Chain A
């Protein structure tokens, strides 16, 4: 807005973002920068404004792109070796929509390779550090996105959330993040992780900014058959009255700082006149197991295309065709990628399909029903995002099960397809950000964001 009214030029805004990115290089946020192209775009936009031409709603706003989106600008790595980086001939639908409104991508940010992880430690390009404590992880997989926004390098970043990958790093870094209802934003041009769980979303410094990004990017896309007819743009907002609390989440497995933050927020809401409703959702204790069957199955399938034949990395040692597949994939994937490929192949193999995959699909239906039932009793649910604040780098990386436990509270939303918004609610005594998530029924994203803006902490005295 300030840019359009000539208070700040797009060039100075982009330059400032680029300078900050350099200043925070030690955090290892960016995989690649778009310096020249970004400044050129900013000049174009300034020229348009000078001529009094109409500019988009994001004219001159710099942003960071999680490096699993394709765009004609730059090259995509998905933080892996196997893409070697990939120069794409097209823009992901979300990127196309952002750029059309004048947003300027200043660079591509780090993630766990192929978004497999909860700490951005599984990246071929090294670990990204937490914005509040560089000895701790950024969270993941959208770790680079979260730190770039938290350090105020850019006002927003794109993200993807398959099992918490937007919400968890957002709350580890004290910012806002939305995982929309499944099918709200097109997945076209986004490197697939697990197709039935993947959601494109954003990380930003306020719920208001997230709402604008949703206004721009939500909607049906003929290139993604799973997108929903638009339910978001210019829709009315409904204020919730009843706030649900999932009692099954209230256990010792969750850090006292997080439980304390939740209790405090609930007390505030209660005194503000909201009704607090206790929810029993026992099926959720199976959510993590269900997730770690369905997700690897779809992962193994979606990663099958990386075979060294048509693009990306191919092992030099490979001669025969089986060697091309074998050596390329052995060298090109990270250990966590391989772990999920193996689990996925196992649960899909004949003889195990019924016992694992099919059973998990049935349990998933029950989880969907459990949320439908819950939203008959309340309007929104307030819950923790993760069992703990940001943990130490290296603390869990060699303990896959502990790492998977990180997702125990976040994956349920992806299985159910319902939206979730991570909101910052405070800090631990040692200064680590604390976040919670608001969960709503399918298609309630706009109301959810409005409420998130109301109850979440404010980061900025002034917006971008």
Chain B
């Protein structure tokens, strides 16, 4: 039987604020000792009370704007209770009743719109590492600010799910609210999948695959679930509503608990944090800080940069930002350099952090357009714009130092062409051309290039050769 899948996705985004959501401790624990970024508030010493990081509120507003969401002027925190060693307070501070981010939508590159139900602020949990007879607790991640983005069940294929997750990731990176490092769990996806017979009015029983941290695993997990659930339904069995884990190595989802217990989180308003009340002006001011988003760039560069290249470059907000600084006539050349040279480099991630200035790139493109640089020359100069020794110099000076400026001076070129025509080694070719063989022209241009040690502009050389041999 053919089934129609319905998919909803919850996404946790770690915000890259300087400090944690409820304490003044460093929020960036990358490369730091376990339990070194933890204050008494974070490890829940008795008598400790949460503070509230205003930066996280601003980030939430920006994230909301990126998803076309309404920002709620009134929001509040609640306590979600559960016992686990990664939760020092015995509850998570989240926004269950009054989230800060209201309804909105994310538009996929295909044009499909996925509605956002809401998104809320909450603190992350710690990390457990399990060994044979014991487990270790690292609380560095405790109360790193998260926003949890809850989609409506508007997704109906694994490909759309992947595209949605990817677009969300791009939006959050462009809004500047996260480091976006998926490998290190900066964004994690929980995927709810259900199947119903094609045309059915009611949704089927759903399963939730938790903690996926790549677009590929989201896609694969859904494909696997669709297959698994189809098989169950085809054989007349029921899908059990349960939480599953994903094994990337085997490509299978697995039940996380043998006994599925209905959890009661006993939500309660957080009495230690007064409600958040935001003025319209404050929200507006913060929203205006959101720079151009992927769709803005799609609109801006649509006719100029080929679609495939554009979609690749869109993964890098820095590159889009840089292209945005350039004049229209330079965009195509530079976009091409970004995709064919920069992203192909082994050290591309470092290079992304130190892009050349807009002027340098603008000059580079202009030299190419004027014929002063060949394609190869342009690439060579481009590479040197990242060289610590060279990068502060003008593009033109770098080209000169590299000796790659093409000879466009007609007088000098004519002298070289004259030399080639007079060269006895070329006499046969000259004679052939005069006899009507067009194909030897390439050989003669090559000789001019050789005589100029590569600096001649091949187009100009051909032009002059043709004139002289007429």
Q: Do B40 and A226 touch (CB < 8 A)?
A: no
Q: Do B83 and A325 touch (CB < 8 A)?
A: yes
Q: Do A298 and B89 touch (CB < 8 A)?
A: no
Q: Do A301 and B268 touch (CB < 8 A)?
A: yes
Q: Do B43 and A310 touch (CB < 8 A)?
A: yes
* Interface of B, helix, strand, loop or mixed by DSSP: loop
Provide the residues of chain B in CB contact with A303, threshold 8 Å: 90
Q: Do A307 and B83 touch (CB < 8 A)?
A: yes
Q: Do A305 and B89 touch (CB < 8 A)?
A: yes
Compute how far the CA of A301 lies from the CA of B87 in the bound complex, rounded to whole angstroms: 13
Q: Do B267 and A348 touch (CB < 8 A)?
A: yes
Q: Which residue of chain A has its CB nearest to the CB of B47?
A: A189
Most buried by B among A195, A224, A225, A349: A225
Residues of A within 8 A of B (CB): 69-70, 76, 78, 83, 86, 88-90, 92, 187-192, 194-196, 222-226, 297-298, 300-301, 303-305, 307, 309-311, 321, 325, 345, 348-350, 353, 357, 361
- Min distance, Cβ A301 to any Cβ of chain B, angstroms: 5
Compute how far the CA of A361 lies from the CA of B267 in the bound complex, rounded to whole angstroms: 14
- Could you jot down 29 A-B contacts, CB within 8 Å? A70-B47, A78-B46, A88-B47, A90-B45, A188-B48, A188-B49, A189-B48, A190-B47, A191-B46, A194-B271, A195-B271, A195-B272, A223-B49, A223-B51, A225-B49, A226-B274, A297-B268, A298-B271, A301-B79, A301-B90, A304-B89, A304-B90, A311-B45, A321-B85, A325-B83, A348-B267, A348-B268, A350-B264, A353-B267
Q: Do A222 and B264 touch (CB < 8 A)?
A: no
A88-B45 contact, Cβ under 8 Å, with A225-B274, A348-B267: yes
Provide the residues of chain B in CB contact with A311, threshold 8 Å: 45
Provide the residues of chain A in CB contact with B44, threshold 8 Å: 305, 310
Q: Do A89 and B40 touch (CB < 8 A)?
A: yes
Compute how far the CA of A169 lies from the CA of B47 in the bound complex, rounded to whole angstroms: 23
Let me know if B52 is at the binding interface, CB within 8 A. yes
Q: Which residue of chain A has its CB nearest to the CB of B23?
A: A223
Let me know if B433 is at the binding interface, CB within 8 A. no
Provide the residues of chain A in CB contact with B89, threshold 8 Å: 304-305
Let me know if B4 is at the binding interface, CB within 8 A. no
Q: Do A70 and B46 touch (CB < 8 A)?
A: yes
Provide the residues of chain A in CB contact with B312, threshold 8 Å: none
A348-B266 contact, Cβ under 8 Å, with A88-B45, A187-B47: yes
Selected contact of B264 from candidates A78, A325, A349, A357, CB within 8 Å: A349
- Min distance, Cβ A359 to any Cβ of chain B, angstroms: 14
- Min distance, Cβ A383 to any Cβ of chain B, angstroms: 26
Provide the residues of chain B in CB contact with A76, threshold 8 Å: 46
Compute how far the CA of A307 lies from the CA of B52 in the bound complex, rounded to whole angstroms: 25
Compute how far the CA of A304 lies from the CA of B91 in the bound complex, rounded to whole angstroms: 7
Let me know if B306 is at the binding interface, CB within 8 A. no
- Given contact pairs A89-B40, A188-B47, A225-B49, enumerate 6 new A-B contacts (beta carbons under 8 Å): A92-B47, A191-B47, A192-B49, A226-B274, A309-B85, A310-B43
A187-B268 contact, Cβ under 8 Å, with A305-B44, A321-B85: no
* Interface of A, helix, strand, loop or mixed by DSSP: loop
Provide the residues of chain A in CB contact with B90, threshold 8 Å: 301, 303-305, 307
Residues of B within 8 A of A (CB): 40, 43-52, 79, 81, 83-85, 88-91, 135, 137, 264, 266-269, 271-274
Q: Which residue of chain B has its CB nearest to the CB of A195?
A: B271
Provide the residues of chain A in CB contact with B79, threshold 8 Å: 301
Q: Do A86 and B46 touch (CB < 8 A)?
A: yes
Provide the residues of chain B in CB contact with A90, threshold 8 Å: 40, 45
The 10 closest A-B pairs by CB, nearest first: A304-B90, A195-B271, A348-B266, A196-B271, A305-B44, A191-B46, A189-B47, A325-B83, A190-B47, A309-B85
Compute how far the CA of A300 lies from the CA of B81 in the bound complex, rounded to whole angstroms: 10
Provide the residues of chain B in CB contact with A297, threshold 8 Å: 268
Q: Which residue of chain B has its CB nearest to the CB of A189?
A: B47
Compute how far the CA of A222 lies from the CA of B264 in the bound complex, rounded to whole angstroms: 33
- Min distance, Cβ A25 to any Cβ of chain B, angstroms: 27
Provide the residues of chain B in CB contact with A298, threshold 8 Å: 268, 271
Q: How many A-B residue pairs have CB under 8 A?
A: 99
Compute how far the CA of A190 lies from the CA of B47 in the bound complex, rounded to whole angstroms: 4
Provide the residues of chain A in CB contact with B274, threshold 8 Å: 225-226
Compute how far the CA of A89 lies from the CA of B89 in the bound complex, rounded to whole angstroms: 18
Compute how far the CA of A321 lies from the CA of B84 in the bound complex, rounded to whole angstroms: 8
- Min distance, Cβ A195 to any Cβ of chain B, angstroms: 4
Compute how far the CA of A187 lies from the CA of B52 in the bound complex, rounded to whole angstroms: 16
Compute how far the CA of A191 lies from the CA of B47 in the bound complex, rounded to whole angstroms: 4
Provide the residues of chain B in CB contact with A86, threshold 8 Å: 45-46
- Min distance, Cβ B272 to any Cβ of chain A, angstroms: 5
- Min distance, Cβ B274 to any Cβ of chain A, angstroms: 6
A357-B46 contact, Cβ under 8 Å, with A90-B40, A223-B51, A321-B85: no
A301-B46 contact, Cβ under 8 Å, with A348-B266, A348-B268, A357-B268: no
Q: Which residue of chain B has its CB nearest to the CB of A197?
A: B271
- Min distance, Cβ B298 to any Cβ of chain A, angstroms: 43
Q: Do A345 and B272 touch (CB < 8 A)?
A: no
Q: Do B51 and A225 touch (CB < 8 A)?
A: yes
Q: Which residue of chain B has its CB nearest to the CB of A227?
A: B49
Compute how far the CA of A194 lies from the CA of B273 in the bound complex, rounded to whole angstroms: 14
Q: Do A225 and B272 touch (CB < 8 A)?
A: yes
Compute how far the CA of A348 lies from the CA of B78 in the bound complex, rounded to whole angstroms: 12
Q: Which residue of chain B has its CB nearest to the CB of A114?
A: B46
Provide the residues of chain A in CB contact with B264, threshold 8 Å: 349-350
Most buried by A among B49, B52, B81, B269: B49
Provide the residues of chain B in CB contact with A189, threshold 8 Å: 47-48
Provide the residues of chain B in CB contact with A92, threshold 8 Å: 47
- Min distance, Cβ B453 to any Cβ of chain A, angstroms: 70
Provide the residues of chain A in CB contact with B273, threshold 8 Å: 225
Q: Which residue of chain A has its CB nearest to the CB of B41?
A: A223
Q: Do A187 and B83 touch (CB < 8 A)?
A: no
Q: Which residue of chain A has its CB nearest to the CB of B274?
A: A225
A349-B46 contact, Cβ under 8 Å, with A225-B273, A304-B89, A309-B85: no
Q: Do A304 and B83 touch (CB < 8 A)?
A: yes
Q: Do A301 and B51 touch (CB < 8 A)?
A: no
Selected contact of B81 from candidates A70, A224, A304, A310, CB within 8 Å: A304
Q: Which residue of chain B has its CB nearest to the CB of A194?
A: B271
Q: Do A345 and B88 touch (CB < 8 A)?
A: no
Most buried by B among A196, A309, A321: A309
Compute how far the CA of A301 lies from the CA of B48 in the bound complex, rounded to whole angstroms: 14
A305-B46 contact, Cβ under 8 Å, with A90-B40, A225-B52, A310-B88: yes
Provide the residues of chain B in CB contact with A321, threshold 8 Å: 84-85, 135
Most buried by A among B83, B135, B267: B83
- Min distance, Cβ B55 to any Cβ of chain A, angstroms: 15
Q: Do B272 and A226 touch (CB < 8 A)?
A: yes
Provide the residues of chain B in CB contact with A348, threshold 8 Å: 81, 266-268
Q: Do B45 and A70 touch (CB < 8 A)?
A: yes
Provide the residues of chain A in CB contact with B49, threshold 8 Å: 187-188, 192, 223-226
- Min distance, Cβ B129 to any Cβ of chain A, angstroms: 14
Q: Which residue of chain A has its CB nearest to the CB of B38?
A: A310
